[in-house]
Amino acid sequence: MNADGRRRIAFVSGAAYAGGAEKYIELLACGLDRERYEPVLVTSGSPGLESLRAALTNAGISNETTEEKSLSSAGGASLFSGIMRRLRPDIVHINMPGPFDCGYGLPASLARLSGAGRIVTTEHLPMIGSFAKAKFLRSIHMGRVSRFITVSEDNRSHLVNNHGVPAAKVRVVYNGTPDPGYNVAGSRASDAPVNLLVAGALEERKGHMVLLSAMDRLPERIRLDIAGEGPLRGELEEALASGKYGGRVSLLGRVEDMAGLIARSDILVVPSLIEATPYVILEAMAAGRPVVASAIFGIPEQVEDGVTGILTKPGDVDSLAEAVLRVSEEPGLIGKMGGAGRKRYEDRFTLERSVAKTVEVYEELF
């Protein structure tokens, strides 16, 4: 505990860039009660994390980096250990986007050897498999962890059954997101345009090409905005340049005002093939928008099928097209499902609830 009576929490990220898992750190660190906790961000020097470091600096949270060295390199590990000895955190909270990131969890061992007695991880995608050597190395480092936070009950099963994590150490804490304000969907004419939105990294696992195939089967009044950047951009640009979508599909790139974009949309579509519990689903429900999403991993814990949206078979073009068509064409369904989604957000997925549940995990360790 610090001289001022606050507990110091060191949030650790070794990611190459800021994605949804890093958004988790930002929301959690900024959401802590500063009278009780002192959050500190500790990262590698990756340029891709500059936005995360800037966001926390702007929120008055101090940053420590290992310069340009990876946390798992010899130099990076030495610098990280030095930071741990200097900070003397009450809790080291390591963010694990995938189960084998952060050098298979190396910072857990380094933090312990540097005197930290309480180690927490958050596991975002434990369903991802790997090879025997990676599992062995992870098992060594993860043996140092006091508590494993994960973002869905589905994730809990993967941690216990596939990664050998003791069930008694696992805590499920659903993600939460700030309230953007409830923007009620108004009534619409049966032939009015319907605006779909898909938002996230442009990667194959996100299912963008499946959604484009579904657009071929949907009426012209249904339009699609694609928000995000990533390696799939060239393939998407090529598909749109063919002219087959007649201007019905727009590639927006990186969007800063996601809340505004969601508010201008009618239906969020999440056609992913691998996903845990995406923030964008929570943001859409908070704004009162229905969600059409793949029924994979933790998503059914977010979207109540037939109530707040529709769950579809992952990778199935017909299933996706039928779901979008139903929500678009059934009178009043966009507003009805959006309202139910807003209620589900208020009950389960507010940022305040998520932060409070995480703090309960912290306090177990004292």
Q: What is the pLDDT of residues 160-198, one digit of tens each?
A: 999 999 999 999 999 999 999 887 666 666 678 999 999
Answer yes or no: is 324 within a domain. yes
Q: At what angle do helices 74-87 and 101-113 cross, to 10 degrees?
A: 40
Between 44-58, 145-159, 182-196, 242-256, the lowest mean confidence (pLDDT) is in: 182-196
Mean pLDDT of 78-103: 95
**By C-alpha distance, which of 146, 79, 94, 84 is closest to 115?**
84
Tell whether 93 and 234 lie within a shared domain: no
Tell whether 225 and 155 lie within a shared domain: no
Domain total in the chain:
2
Tell whether 162 and 203 lie within a shared domain: no
In this prediction, residue 189 carries a pLDDT of 67
Whichever domain contains 289, its CATH number is 3.40.50.2000
pTM of the model: 0.94
Token code pair at residue 115: 């005197």
Q: Where would I find the beta strands (DSSP E) of the chain?
A: 7-13, 37-43, 62-65, 91-96, 119-123, 147-150, 170-172, 194-199, 222-227, 249-253, 267-270, 291-294, 309-312
The answer to whether 182 and 341 are in contact (CB under 8 A) is: no
Tell whether 122 and 147 lie within a shared domain: yes
Tell whether 31 and 172 lie within a shared domain: yes
In this prediction, residue 67 carries a pLDDT of 87
246 falls in which pLDDT band (50, 70, 90)?
A: confident
The answer to whether 226 and 198 are in contact (CB under 8 A) is: yes
Tell whether 248 and 308 lie within a shared domain: yes
Domain region containing 144: 7-176+351-364
* Side-chain half-sphere exposure of 23, counting CA atoms within 13 A: 14
Between 133-142, 315-324, 343-352, the lowest mean confidence (pLDDT) is in: 133-142
**Phi, psi for residue 358 in degrees, rounded to 5:** -65, -40
Q: Which helix (H) or strand (E) holds 108?
A: helix 101-113
Answer yes or no: is 53 within a domain. yes
Answer yes or no: is 182 within a domain. no
Tell whether 55 and 164 lie within a shared domain: yes
Tell whether 318 and 358 lie within a shared domain: no
